[in-house]
């Protein structure tokens, strides 16, 4: 079978990383391999051998490299080895499931004067994807053996061995005409001129055409090689031709890709599977309709969270009614009044607040978790990418913005990928205007307490005001932060739509909801406790407490903007954490410190619930003003600290903080006055 004249033929394995070289190498050599280092390099060298039909074949596993340029150590080692003539045949591996990508190595091999074979490896993966490759057609075009292959399948290597035999016997080189002809189109006939200047037989295994191509690609190593091997005159000629070439690298690459395309046009048959929801996707990514659709879906998502929320709010409202029975039971066993008050006014209020939140936290997380899981949030990023440009931001700023919809802290952290400091700060400044999940949980609770069934409308209003706020903030801060910078082009690969894994989705939402609620309970409890203490009076007349007196003093000022002193304090506390606002409201309106409870007695106040307490203490405009103020205040203390961490600027963190403080009070004022005209 083998009339191989070479005593111990050497096979070199060439290919991009992940083309299966190691699998093949290990399958061929097994234990008969040696691992070391290429002389003077840190790159691993693997050599081995296998015996077949009485002949010993040496195998060298060349480092995985993208092509035969000289950009990395791996590529230089690979090239030098091939040039040296140590290999008798080069076995080029390609990933059949990604031929357009993996054949680039083959394109770069064109012009190497060493016999080769092409292994279309990972054929099983390609077939599973619905691809079929006509190896015979490729062989006809390329002039070298082309073998469909599955390196992992050790039992079917016979075609491989045959191909090696053939290559060693026939010594066929890769056909170059179809590619090198294209180079003639390069401006000024540069390719042909270079060809003439090259040594006719090339240098070692590098043919004249390969050298000429590499020179066009500004390959420094080849240029040096040419300088060493050519007479001065010829070298000068080479340099002068090259000086007139523009974009040689990209042009030759373009022709290589074209060559690959032509090869595959006849030889590769691919029945591309239609992606699910492709019609929906064309709407979702539409230039004109994509944005309105996204806005609609998000709004619907927010309103949909009211559905699971309502039963919880109803259950929650029952909790305060336990106040009466509990206080009666506790007094019966002789518990001190302060403990009874503590339990009914702080503990019950906290539980009530948190239960009211559950539905919204769950609902918001469910809806947006679903959109994420399905892959729609990626479309949202894509569609609002261009909007970023209007503020002088790069497209990738859209990612932190989308994340901020869930949590501003994540959004701030996400700006780490933004290189320009000015753009980073602007992105964060704008992200604060986007209400986070905490807002989307707390605000519906507040709106429901006061406006009942009209609450969803309040949410819609907040959504649109957020959009306007975002725009104005972007323009104001942008004027100071953005310099005219070149915009970087961006390619976005949208993931395919996924069928949601409901089980995993629900599980993660339950966990997340649980986490959020336990944290919220702690915050609400502590805040409620503090404010309760500050307004507690055993005699039942809160007017004597310090906080109450303080509140009365500031009320004239706060009322101008639409706040009662209680809602003002709740608003301030929302800067620490949004749920704190609930705690403060509960403590100040339901606790012993409120006139409301003083009139009804604490049991009566609790039984009536926070909604009645608010209804009788706040006018609709004041309630709206409060809700808007809380929504557009600083997100929370941790967000403020992450803003500082990311911007590394106290000045800008304080500026942003002050801006949001002022604008939220201004918004409250506007809402209060405008709503006052209608209610």
Region at 432 (left for phi over 0; alpha for psi -120 to 50; beta for the rest) = alpha
Q: Is 493 in the site for another protein (CB under 8 A)?
A: yes
Query: At which residue do the structure tokens 């089980």 appear?
Result: 503
Nearer to another protein, 233 or 486 (CB): 486
Q: Is 375 in the site for another protein (CB under 8 A)?
A: yes
Alpha-carbon distances, residue 535 vs 539, 571, 595 (angstroms): 11, 17, 11
Q: Is 624 in the site for another protein (CB under 8 A)?
A: no
Per CB under 8 A, which region of 248-256, 303-311, 348-356, 529-537 contacts another protein? 248-256
- Shortest reach from residue 486's CB to another protein, in Å: 5
Which tokens go with 54? Answer: 């009485």
Judged by CB under 8 A, which of 45, 52, 172, 258 binds another protein?
Answer: 258
Q: Is 519 in the site for another protein (CB under 8 A)?
A: yes
- Identify the three-state secondary structure at position 344: helix
Query: Segment 557-586, which members bind another protein (CB under 8 A)?
Result: 577
Nearer to another protein, 163 or 517 (CB): 517
Q: Checking DSSP bridges between strand 33-37 and strand 44-52, what pairing results, if any? A: antiparallel
Q: Is 416 in the site for another protein (CB under 8 A)?
A: yes
- Shortest reach from residue 223's CB to another protein, in Å: 15
Judged by CB under 8 A, which of 114, 116, 399, 587 binds another protein?
Answer: 399
Alpha-carbon distances, residue 218 vs 53, 69, 70, 243 (angstroms): 45, 10, 10, 10
CA distance 569 to 546: 14
Judged by CB under 8 A, which of 44, 201, 246, 266 binds another protein?
Answer: 246
CA distance 240 to 395: 41
Which tokens go with 374? Answer: 């399905």
CA distance 613 to 607: 10
Q: Is 87 in the site for another protein (CB under 8 A)?
A: no
Per CB under 8 A, which region of 186-194, 322-330, 398-406, 528-536 contacts another protein? 398-406
CA distance 181 to 387: 45
Query: At which residue do the structure tokens 């604008």 appear?
Result: 663
Q: Is 407 in the site for another protein (CB under 8 A)?
A: yes
**Which candidate, 406, 476, 452, places its Cα nearest to that of 635?**
406
What's the N-to-C CA distance of the chain in angstroms? 99
Number of amino acids touching another protein (CB under 8 A): 75
Per CB under 8 A, which region of 97-105, 190-198, 531-539, 655-663 contacts another protein? 97-105
Judged by CB under 8 A, which of 396, 568, 581, 626 binds another protein?
Answer: 396
Q: Is 638 in the site for another protein (CB under 8 A)?
A: yes
C-beta neighbour count of 36 within 10 angstroms: 9
Query: Segment 275-294, which members bind another protein (CB under 8 A)?
Result: 285
**Which candidate, 105, 57, 109, places its Cα nearest to that of 83?**
109
- Shortest reach from residue 48's CB to another protein, in Å: 29
Query: Segment 24-63, which members bind another protein (CB under 8 A)?
Result: none
Q: Is 253 in the site for another protein (CB under 8 A)?
A: yes
Contact status, residue 571 vs residue 563, Cβ threshold 8 Å: yes
Judged by CB under 8 A, which of 372, 428, 429, 657 binds another protein?
Answer: 372
Binding mask 292-331 for another protein (x = CB under 8 A): ----------------------------------------
Judged by CB under 8 A, which of 61, 88, 219, 251 binds another protein?
Answer: 251
CA distance 96 to 559: 73
**Which candidate, 11, 88, 75, places its Cα nearest to that of 38?**
75
Contact status, residue 629 vs residue 571, Cβ threshold 8 Å: yes
Nearer to another protein, 158 or 484 (CB): 484
Q: Is 99 in the site for another protein (CB under 8 A)?
A: yes
CA distance 417 to 400: 9
Judged by CB under 8 A, which of 68, 117, 313, 409 binds another protein?
Answer: 409
Which tokens go with 416? Answer: 């780490």
28 CB-near residues (< 8 Å, 6+ apart): 48, 50, 57, 59
- Shortest reach from residue 224's CB to another protein, in Å: 19
Q: Is 240 in the site for another protein (CB under 8 A)?
A: no
Binding mask 58-77 for another protein (x = CB under 8 A): --------xx-x-x------
Q: Is 261 in the site for another protein (CB under 8 A)?
A: yes
Nearer to another protein, 5 or 488 (CB): 488
Q: Is 491 in the site for another protein (CB under 8 A)?
A: yes
């Amino acid at each position: 079978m083998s009339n191989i004249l070479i005593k111990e033929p050497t096979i070199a394995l060439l290919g991009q990383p992940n083309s299966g070289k190691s699998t093949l190498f290990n399958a061929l050599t097994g234990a008969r391999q040696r691992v070391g280092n290429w002389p003077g390099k840190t790159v691993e060298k693997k050599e081995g051998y296998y015996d077949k039909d009485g002949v010993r074949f040496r195998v060298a596993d060349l480092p995985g490299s993208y092509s035969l340029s000289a950009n990395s150590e791996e590529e230089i080692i690979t090239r030098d080895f091939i040039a040296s003539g140590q290999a008798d045949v080069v076995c080029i591996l390609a990933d059949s499931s990604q031929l357009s990508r993996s054949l680039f190595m083959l394109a770069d091999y064109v012009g190497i004067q060493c016999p080769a074979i092409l292994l279309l490896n990972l054929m099983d993966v390609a077939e599973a994807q619905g691809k079929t490759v006509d190896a015979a057609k490729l062989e006809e075009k390329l002039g070298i053996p082309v073998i469909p292959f599955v390196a992992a399948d050790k039992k079917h290597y016979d075609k491989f061995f045959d191909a090696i035999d053939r290559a060693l016997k026939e010594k066929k080189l890769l056909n170059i005409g179809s590619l090198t002809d294209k180079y003639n189109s390069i401006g000024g006939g540069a390719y042909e001129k270079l060809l003439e200047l090259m040594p006719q037989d090339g240098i070692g295994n590098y043919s004249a055409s390969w050298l000429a191509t590499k020179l066009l690609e500004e390959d420094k190593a080849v240029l040096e090689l040419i300088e060493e091997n050519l007479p001065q005159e010829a070298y000068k000629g080479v340099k002068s031709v090259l000086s007139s070439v523009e974009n040689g690298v990209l042009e030759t690459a373009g022709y290589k890709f074209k060559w690959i395309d032509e090869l595959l046009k006849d030889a590769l048959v691919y029945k591309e599977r239609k992606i699910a929801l492709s019609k929906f996707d064309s709407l979702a990514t539409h230039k004109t309709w994509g944005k309105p659709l996204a806005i609609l879906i998000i709004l619907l998502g927010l309103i949909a969270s009211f559905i699971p929320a309502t039963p919880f709010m109803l259950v929650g409202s029952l909790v305060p009614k336990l106040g009466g029975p509990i206080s009666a039971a506790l007094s019966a066993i002789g518990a001190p009044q302060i403990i009874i008050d503590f339990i009914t006014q702080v503990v019950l209020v906290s539980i009530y607040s948190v239960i009211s939140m559950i539905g919204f936290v769950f609902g918001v997380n469910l809806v947006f978790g679903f959109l994420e899981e399905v892959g729609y949030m990626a479309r949202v990023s894509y569609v609002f990418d261009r909007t970023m440009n209007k503020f002088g931001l790069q497209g990738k700023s859209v990612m932190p913005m989308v994340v901020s919809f869930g949590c501003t802290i994540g959004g701030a952290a996400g700006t780490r990928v933004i290189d320009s400091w000015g753009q980073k700060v602007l992105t964060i400044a704008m992200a604060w205007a986007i209400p986070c999940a905490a807002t989307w949980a707390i605000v519906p609770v507040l709106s429901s307490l006061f406006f009942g069934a009209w609450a969803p409308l309040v949410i819609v209003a907040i959504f649109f005001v957020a959009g306007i706020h975002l725009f104005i903030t972007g323009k104001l801060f942008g004027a100071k932060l953005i310099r005219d910078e070149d915009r970087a082009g961006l390619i976005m690969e949208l993931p395919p739509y996924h069928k949601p894994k409901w089980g995993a989705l629900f599980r993660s939402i339950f966990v997340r909801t649980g986490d959020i609620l336990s944290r919220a309970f702690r915050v609400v409890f502590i805040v409620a406790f503090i404010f309760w203490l500050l307004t507690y009076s055993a005699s039942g007349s809160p007017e004597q407490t310090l906080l109450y007196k303080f509140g009365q003093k500031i009320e004239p000022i706060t009322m101008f903007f639409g706040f009662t002193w209680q809602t003002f304090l709740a608003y301030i506390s929302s800067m620490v954490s949004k749920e704190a606002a609930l705690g403060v409201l509960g403590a100040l309106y339901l606790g012993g410190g409120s006139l409301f409870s003083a009139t009804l007695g604490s049991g009566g106040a609790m039984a009536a619930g926070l909604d009645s307490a608010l209804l009788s203490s706040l006018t609709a405009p004041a309630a709206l003003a409060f809700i808007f103020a809380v929504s557009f205040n600083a997100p929370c203390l941790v967000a403020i600290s992450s803003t500082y961490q990311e911007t590394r600027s106290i000045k800008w963190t304080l500026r942003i903080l002050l801006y949001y403080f002022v604008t939220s009070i201004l918004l409250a004022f506007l809402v209060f006055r405008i709503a006052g005209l209608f209610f």
